């Protein structure tokens, strides 16, 4: 190769290095998408080299700009950039080592087992990957959460002369992202909130996996985003670094709204044969085509994974130098901040490391025994307000149901998060459940303890985001109310049946369905101390009894997932009745009736299967002794999964159809959720 002579030559050499690393990795894996990295390499290079405030030596620096690749199929674009920029690896606790996050051997192991370069980027595997993206639109949704977090952190922690937080969020998205509903919802909210720190870069390549985008997509994206309240600008050639720079400068100058930069690119740009086809998008080029492309780039045709002289230095002197200077200045400023504002600095350090403030659980409510009781959504609201007062970075909201979900934070100073008023703790997501899930994930990735809320049935609208939260192992909090047919008149369109079973099937998802007001308090204690993975808290609309804890076991048993609530004297029952949530009181009523008939029963509260499965075998055996095979489960939901606890001889009382629209008492009677039915089932399994 001829040595580069000018800055422009070095730029092009670096861009072509990104392209050829992507081509070689995809070709070696015989799997992947080379087209998007080839087309977008100049876009990402320009951003990282000249605009992104990011220190490769400290990729966990709290005020770094965030780069999100929502078009996750272009993962090699990100891996090549992380490699060339020399981004260091950090461990799970955030400690940065001298190792590269993406060394060359990992690029060569693209899409292979246990590599740090999976087919779509995964944030828990690869330092420098800010979020797990791939399902289109998700990264775009996450980026709105990150931008919200930056605005909120700035409003609450910056002080005159101390801009501790002002990071920007840049997102690469394509036609597919902008077709997906989650991105549309998120863009609508971002425009409404005037998130001027958010920049989406739209790769307008007019190609989808099936073929030309015009087969399925003909809308005027620019006009749509103007309608959302965004600033929209266009770069007509993805290879023109000067025009790209103008696009980024336009974003940085825009202070009153988010920015969409529409970049016209060609899939597989640079290939003389595949420039305008979709073939390069979703499959390797093939050896012959690889050689032609490399020849077109002025690259040695037989060289593989080549990084020419000068390219590493080019990145080191660009993003490396700028990032190191920005972080050093920030660090010096933060040392001064710590002296002047020690309490705020302590909060920030705890937030960044996932620690709770001292006294985070003080003043939590304790609920007296009450046969009428209260809905668990009500006890949740009371508990959440105390916790949010104690934990200044606990923040969230609801999909237009805050009064119904009881997630309004009402203590003095809680406030609302509005456009140009970014300090409040109550977020208003509007009727946008899917974006809400993605946004809460983005806020959680930015170290806030963020919660969302809606009716349990609409977890289906959030599921893709929840699944990615579980995959990323982030402590997002998903609150759901109206958790069963117990919500009554709204009927089967709103009554969840299969949602509990399906969430229990999701790896890394912790589900808690508390059985009375005091179990709710204990559930929140679990949630706030749970740092690896999200939690779904599932709550009732209807009032349920608050148990007399002087008569029955303490609610602290929730921490173990399941516990013996009521037992027979001597602890040797003939039959075990088990339930979660509102059905627990049916088991207690049945237990008391059976006791009068001389039948020895045990009631087991099972608010969390996941927590229970983590306990020692000896504990699990003490709660559900193997020799007691007469067992009954009660849950106003699909019975799917209860087989593991009731066994071959047991009986499951649950739902086998959708619900019905009627007053609560009529719905419960129709579907058999009454204490007498539990008594009859207990006798049946006992052979009486």
Residue 7 has pLDDT above 90, yes or no: no
The per-residue DSSP string of 374-418 comes to: E-HHHHHHHHHHHHHHH-TTEEEEESS-HHHHT----STT--B-B
- 3-state SS of 614-640 is CCCHHHHHHHCCCCCCCEEEEEEEECC
582 and 676 together in one domain: yes
Tell me the three state secondary structure of residue 88: strand
Q: Which pLDDT score, from 0 to 100, does residue 279 have?
A: 39
Flag whether 482 is in a domain: yes
Tell me the three state secondary structure of residue 650: coil
Flag whether 552 is in a domain: no
Q: Answer whether 380's CB lies under 8 Å from 479's CB.
A: yes
Quick one: average pLDDT of 369-376? Answer: 97
Q: Per DSSP, what are the bridge partners of residue 313?
A: none
Alpha carbon of 554 to those of 150, 521, 546, 557, 563: distances in Å? 41, 12, 12, 6, 9
484 and 628 together in one domain: no
Question: What percentage of the chain reaches a pLDDT higher than 70?
Answer: 97
Flag whether 362 is in a domain: no
- Give, for 208, the enclosing helix (H) or strand (E): none
Tokens read off for 31: 């799997």
pTM for this predicted structure? 0.97
Residue carrying the six token digits 């399902």 = 135
532 and 563 together in one domain: no
Residue pLDDT, tens place only, 303-316: 999 999 999 999 99
Residue 490 has pLDDT above 50, yes or no: yes
Tokens read off for 384: 């959440």
Model confidence at 8, in pLDDT bands (50, 70, 90)?
Answer: confident
**Rounded to whole angstroms, how far apart are CA atoms 151 and 196?**
9
| Residue that is last in its domain, among 495, 510, 545 | 545
Flag whether 351 is in a domain: no
118 and 245 together in one domain: yes
Alpha-helical regions (H) of 31-115: 35-50, 75-85, 104-108
565 and 642 together in one domain: yes
Flag whether 341 is in a domain: no
Residue pLDDT, tens place only, 38-50: 999 999 999 999 9
Quick one: average pLDDT of 512-531? Answer: 98
More confidently predicted of 211 and 278: 211
CATH number reported for the structural domain that contains residue 295 in this entry: 3.40.50.970
Catalytic hit among 106, 122, 289, 433: 433
Tokens read off for 63: 């005020």
Half-sphere exposure of 428 (CA within 13 A, CB side): 13
Model confidence at 5, in pLDDT bands (50, 70, 90)?
Answer: low
Quick one: average pLDDT of 569-589? Answer: 97
Quick one: average pLDDT of 670-678? Answer: 97
Report the mean per-residue pLDDT for the chain: 95
Residue 566 has pLDDT above 80, yes or no: yes
Flag whether 55 is in a domain: yes
Q: Answer whether 405's CB lies under 8 Å from 481's CB.
A: yes
Q: Answer whether 269's CB lies under 8 Å from 38's CB.
A: yes
392 and 274 together in one domain: no
254 and 393 together in one domain: no
Tokens read off for 95: 């400690």
Tell me the three state secondary structure of residue 290: helix
Quick one: average pLDDT of 53-73? Answer: 98
Is residue 433 part of the annotated active site? The answer reads yes
Residue 22 has pLDDT above 80, yes or no: yes
Residue pLDDT, tens place only, 377-407: 999 999 999 999 999 999 999 999 999 999 9
487 and 571 together in one domain: no
509 and 594 together in one domain: no
Residue 470 has pLDDT above 70, yes or no: yes
Tokens read off for 429: 């997501």
**Rounded to whole angstroms, how far apart are CA atoms 480 and 251?**
37
Q: Which pLDDT score, from 0 to 100, does residue 207 have?
A: 79
Q: Which pLDDT score, from 0 to 100, does residue 281 have?
A: 55
Model confidence at 265, in pLDDT bands (50, 70, 90)?
Answer: confident
Residue 208 has pLDDT above 60, yes or no: yes
**Rounded to whole angstroms, how far apart are CA atoms 175 and 217?**
8
Quick one: average pLDDT of 94-117? Answer: 97
CATH number reported for the structural domain that contains residue 634 in this entry: 3.40.50.920
Q: Which pLDDT score, from 0 to 100, does residue 272 have?
A: 40
Quick one: average pLDDT of 431-439? Answer: 98
Residue 503 sits in which domain range?
370-545
Residue pLDDT, tens place only, 228-242: 999 999 999 999 999
Q: Answer whether 650's CB lies under 8 Å from 633's CB.
A: yes
Residue 23 has pLDDT above 60, yes or no: yes
Question: What percentage of the chain reaches a pLDDT higher than 90?
Answer: 93
Residue pLDDT, tens place only, 179-196: 999 999 999 999 999 999
**Rounded to whole angstroms, how far apart are CA atoms 384 and 178?**
35
141 and 283 together in one domain: yes
| Residue that is last in its domain, among 268, 300, 327 | 327
The per-residue DSSP string of 233-279 comes to: EEES-TT-HHHHHHHHHHHHH--SS-EEEEEE--TTTT-TTTTTSSH
Tokens read off for 352: 């960044």
Flag whether 44 is in a domain: yes
Number of domains within the chain: 3
Quick one: average pLDDT of 323-343? Answer: 98
Burial of residue 657 (CB within 10 Å: 0-12, 13-18, 19+) is exposed
Residue carrying the six token digits 């690749």 = 69
Residue 222 has pLDDT above 60, yes or no: yes
| Residue that is last in its domain, among 484, 513, 545 | 545
636 and 601 together in one domain: yes
Flag whether 334 is in a domain: no
147 and 282 together in one domain: yes
Residue pLDDT, tens place only, 266-293: 765 444 444 333 334 568 999 999 999 9
Q: Which pLDDT score, from 0 to 100, does residue 267 have?
A: 64
Q: Which pLDDT score, from 0 to 100, does residue 217 have?
A: 87
């Amino acid at each position: 190769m001829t040595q580069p002579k000018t800055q422009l030559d070095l730029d092009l050499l670096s861009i072509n290095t990104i392209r050829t690393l992507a081509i070689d990795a995809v070709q070696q894996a015989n799997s992947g998408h080379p087209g998007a990295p080839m087309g977008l390499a100049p876009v990402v290079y320009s951003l990282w080299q000249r605009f992104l405030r990011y220190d490769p030596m400290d990729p966990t620096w709290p005020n770094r700009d965030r780069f999100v690749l929502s078009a996750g199929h272009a993962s090699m674009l990100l891996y090549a950039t992380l490699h060339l920029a020399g981004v260091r690896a950090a461990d799970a606790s955030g400690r940065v080592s001298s190792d590269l996050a993406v060394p060359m051997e990992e690029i060569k192991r693209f899409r292979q087992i246990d590599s740090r370069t999976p087919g779509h980027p995964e944030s828990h595997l690869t330092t420098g990957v800010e979020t797990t993206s791939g399902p289109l639109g998700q990264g775009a949704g996450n980026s709105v959460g990150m931008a919200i977090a930056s605005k909120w952190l700035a409003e609450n922690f910056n002080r005159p002369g101390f801009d501790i937080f002002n990071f920007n969020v840049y997102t690469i998205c394509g036609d597919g992202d902008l077709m997906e509903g989650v991105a549309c919802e998120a863009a609508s909210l971002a425009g409404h909130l005037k998130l001027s720190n958010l920049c989406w870069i739209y790769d307008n390549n007019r190609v989808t996996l099936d073929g030309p985008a015009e087969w399925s997509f003909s809308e005027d994206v620019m006009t749509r985003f103007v309608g959302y309240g965004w600033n929209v600008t266009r770069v007509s050639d993805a290879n023109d670094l000067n025009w790209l720079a103008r696009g980024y400068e336009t974003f940085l100058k825009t202070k009153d709204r988010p920015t969409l930069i529409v970049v016209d690119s060609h899939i597989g740009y640079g290939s003389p044969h595949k420039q305008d086809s979709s073939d390069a998008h979703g499959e390797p080029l093939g050896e012959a085509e690889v050689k032609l492309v490399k020849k077109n780039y002025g690259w040695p045709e037989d060289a593989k994974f080549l990084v020419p002289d000068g390219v590493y230095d080019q990145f080191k002197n660009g993003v490396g130098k700028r990032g190191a200077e920005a972080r050093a200045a920030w660090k010096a400023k933060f040392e001064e901040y710590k002296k002047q504002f020690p309490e705020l600095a302590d909060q920030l350090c705890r937030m960044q490391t996932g620690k709770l403030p001292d006294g985070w659980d003080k003043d939590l409510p304790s609920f007296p025994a009450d046969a009428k009781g209260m809905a668990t959504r009500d006890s949740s609201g009371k508990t959440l307000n105390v916790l949010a007062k104690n934990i200044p970075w606990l923040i969230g909201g609801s999909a237009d149901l805050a009064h119904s979900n009881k997630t309004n934070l009402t203590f003095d100073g809680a406030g609302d998060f509005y456009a140009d008023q970014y300090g409040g703790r109550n977020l208003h997501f509007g009727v946008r459940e899917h974006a809400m899930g993605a946004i809460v994930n983005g806020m959680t990735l930015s170290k806030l303890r963020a919660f969302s809320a809606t009716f349990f049935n609409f977890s289906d609208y959030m599921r893709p985001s929840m699944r990615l939260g579980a995959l990323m192992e982030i402590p997002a909090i998903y609150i759901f109310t109206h958790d069963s047919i117990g919500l009554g008149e709204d009927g089967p369109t709103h009554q969840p049946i299969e949602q509990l079973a399906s969430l229990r099937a999701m790896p890394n998802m912790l589900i808690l369905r508390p059985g009375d007001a005091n179990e709710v308090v204990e559930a929140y204690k679990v949630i706030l101390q749970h740092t690896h993975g999200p939690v779904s808290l599932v709550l009732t609309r209807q009032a349920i009894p608050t148990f007399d804890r002087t008569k029955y076991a303490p609610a602290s048993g929730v921490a173990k997932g399941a516990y013996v609530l009521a037992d027979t004297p001597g602890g040797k029952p003939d039959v075990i009745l088990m339930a979660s949530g509102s059905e627990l009181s049916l088991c207690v009523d049945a237990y008391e009736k059976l006791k009068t008939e001389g039948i020895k029963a045990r009631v087991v509260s099972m608010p969390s299967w996941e927590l229970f499965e983590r306990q020692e075998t000896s504990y699990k055996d003490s709660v559900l002794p193997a020799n007691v095979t007469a067992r009954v489960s009660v849950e106003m939901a699909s019975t799917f999964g209860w087989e593991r606890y009731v066994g071959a001889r047991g009986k499951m009382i649950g739902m086998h159809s959708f619900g019905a629209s009627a007053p609560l008492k009529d719905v419960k009677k129709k579907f058999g959720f009454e204490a007498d039915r539990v008594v009859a089932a207990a006798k049946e399994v006992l052979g009486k």
